[in-house]
Amino acid sequence: MKIVEMISIRKEFPGVVALDNIDFALEEGEIHGLVGENGAGKSTLINILAGVFQQSSGEIRFFGESLRLNSPSDALRRGIGVVYQDTVLDPYFSSEENIWLGREPSKLSVLKGKKTRSDTKELCEEFGIEVPLRVPVGTLSVAKQKMVEILRALSMNSKVLVLDEPTASITQSDTDNLFKILRNLKKVGISVIFVSHHLDEVFDLCDRITVLRNGHYEGTYASSELSTRSLIKLMTHRDLTDQYPKQEYKTEGEVLKVSNLSSVRLGLKNISFEVRKGEIVGFFGMVGSGRTELMKSIFGAGEVDSAEIFIEGQPVKVSNPSRAMKTGIYLCPEDRRREGLVQDMSIIDNLSIPFLGTLTKFGVIDSKTANSKAKKLSKDLEIKTPSLRTIVSNLSGGNQQKVVLGKWLMGPKSRVFIFDEPTQGIDVGAKTEFYKIMQDIAGEGCGVIFVSSDIRELLGVADRIYVMRLGRITAEFGREEFDQSSILENALSDTVSMGSGNCE
């Protein structure tokens, strides 16, 4: 039985057709994958189903009844719950308070705490979901916060659950647990729309897959009918036989050297490593290994107790991001939305902010120069946008990541680029573009640090890989020594010491 039917859906924004004649159908008790490159229209389609946007034309049917969803509350009342990629919870409220927020059991305006606790416990037991209920949500892991959001949607008697990139920032064990829960929901007749750029997860979990490309419908297929290669070709209209292109550049002298970096507050312990010109150095480790904390420290955004940092052999003091920028160290942070961009400003404003001083004359911004540089960068990086005045929050994840990178390319000559999870939440085509961009930067004589939780892309792109565990570098592997099992063992165990140098 079809629960949701979206027929010939078209959505227009000023100057842009985001969706053009899209068909989508969701069966009862089905897990349905929705895939496509960044900008394909997945988020727009989800937002129409969630009542955030209204279609320009086309029809939505829910259990066979034609309807128009005018607001998110309309969708919730119908039983459509959405868990977005970015958590939408109050960090200071407990799990159970977030689940029932605005719908708390009460009598004569007095909250019934016992009723709230019993209802929450019953909800958790019914769907087999375990989360700490009485602690502030902000203290929970990203995975546990996702579970709270799922519980909140289920508490509203949702018949349809939409998950947008739910595994983007969680560990493999948390992913396995999430999949177990989703399969249990399927057994009780709840239908799931699963949006992910991780195609192996889509094949593992989903019964059917719908493919969008550039706002157009490419088809719906049983998962068994497709291979990874054929799915990528549907998404991109390209045959990505070489997903990890590797160009060989001559590596020269040392561009960055870090010696004995330690921070009690950040849990970093006596970290030493170096990066050469023309080299891509990978950093791998599990969640909590200290990779992001280390990168922020090198950029001057972490509280460091001791460290020696050298740029091209010269000692430098990197006490804050401004000093890091002056030495030519640039960071594309893991959380691009909160730390890499000003979401309510335009593309051109975001590109210009870091180096406004170089774009001013007598205290006035030289708009002509700023526009010229921004247009060139937008073209070089292939940022897909109708205008440089577009608000950056309206861009897809891959295009937002290009803006984060582009703002550093607006500045003076760089020496070291740090990419922290740059391909997280972006599609396979955009990932390949980013691998090429990193290699082009290395080819210009810069040092590139590439932090990733995806060991496959590090093996494909990096020249060397450092492995981190519990705030320490546990091993270093040269390209000729790359071995996935050994790298994983060093990331997971204290008893293993493999690789060439810098093992502790």
Mean pLDDT within 334-361: 87
Residues 307, 398 within the same domain: no
CB contact set of 391 (below 8 Å; sequence gap of 6+): 343, 344, 345, 346
Which amino acid appears at position 409 of this protein?
L
- Mapping DSSP onto H, E and C, the string for 431-499 reads HHHHHHHHHHHHHCCCEEEEECCCHHHHHHHCCEEEEEECCEEEEEEEHHHCCHHHHHHHHHCCCCCCC
Based on the fold, state whether residues 423 and 404 are members of the same structural domain: no
Summarize the confidence of residues 469-493 as an average pLDDT.
88
Same domain, 350 and 280: no
Identity of the residue numbered 208: R
Q: Which residue has the tokens 């027929």?
A: 7
Residues 398 and 379 in one domain: yes
Of 179, 201, 236, the residue at which a domain comes to its end is 236
Q: Looking at 236, 266, 299, which one is the last position of a domain?
A: 236
* 3-class state of residue 503 by DSSP: coil
Torsion of CA 317, 271, 142, 333, to 10 degrees: 40
Which pLDDT does position 489 carry in this prediction? Answer: 82
Answer for the pair 31, 3: CB distance below 8 angstroms, yes or no.
no
Q: Return the pLDDT at 74.
A: 93
- Name the amino acid, one letter, at 412: P
In a domain, 135, yes or no: yes
Please say which residue of 396, 412, 428 terminates a domain.
412
Task: With respect to residue 258, please indicate whether it lies within any of the assigned structural domains.
Answer: yes
Q: Is residue 244 part of a domain?
A: no
Q: Report the percentage of the chain scoring pLDDT > 90.
A: 52
Statement: residue 175 has pLDDT above 80: yes
Segment 198-220 mean pLDDT: 93
Q: Is 248 within the bounds of a domain? A: no
**Is there a single domain that holds both residue 358 and residue 324?**
no
> pTM of the full predicted structure?
0.67
Q: Is position 119 within any domain?
A: yes
Say which range, 115-124, 165-174, 461-470, has the weakest mean pLDDT. 165-174
Whether residues 357 and 441 share a domain: the answer is no
Please say if the pLDDT value at position 499 is more than 50: no
* 61-70, 93-102, 107-116, 257-266: the lowest-pLDDT one: 107-116
Domain carrying residue 132: 2-236
Band the pLDDT of 316: cuts 50, 70, 90.
Answer: very high
* pLDDT tens-place string over residues 229-238: 888 888 877 6
Tokens representing residue 476 in the block: 């270093």
In a domain, 426, yes or no: yes
CATH of the domain at 488: 3.40.50.300
Asked if 31 contacts 194 with a C-beta cutoff of 8 angstroms, the reply is yes
Number of domains in the chain: 3
Q: Which of 293, 291, 309, 310 is nearest to 301 (CA)?
A: 293
Q: What distance in Å separates the CA atoms of residue 324 and residue 316, rounded to the nearest whole number?
A: 9
Are 124 and 106 contained in the same domain?
yes
On whether both 376 and 427 belong to a single domain, the answer is: no
Tens of pLDDT, residue by residue over 46-66, are 999 999 999 999 999 999 999
DSSP assigned state of 198 = -
Does residue 147 share a domain with residue 46?
A: yes
Res 108: pLDDT: 60
Same domain? 370 vs 430 = no
Regarding whether 292 and 216 lie in a shared domain, the answer is no
> Closest Cα partner for 275 from 465, 56, 69?
465
Q: What is the DSSP letter of 336?
A: I
| Least confidently predicted of 20-24, 184-188, 250-254, 492-496 | 492-496
Alpha helices in 160-220 (DSSP H): 172-187, 199-205
| Phi and psi torsions of 447, nearest 5° | -95, 140
Q: Which DSSP state fits 357?
A: G
Q: Are residues 227 and 273 in the same domain?
A: no
Confidence of residue 503 (pLDDT cuts 50, 70, 90): very low
Enter the tokens of residue 396: 């897809």
Q: Give the model confidence (pLDDT) of 276-315 as tens digits.
A: 999 999 999 876 789 999 999 999 998 899 999 999 999 9
The burial class, CB within 10 Å (0-12 / 13-18 / 19+), for 173 is: exposed
Closest C-alpha to 487, from 499, 500, 470 = 499
Asked whether residue 416 carries a pLDDT value surpassing 70, the answer given is yes
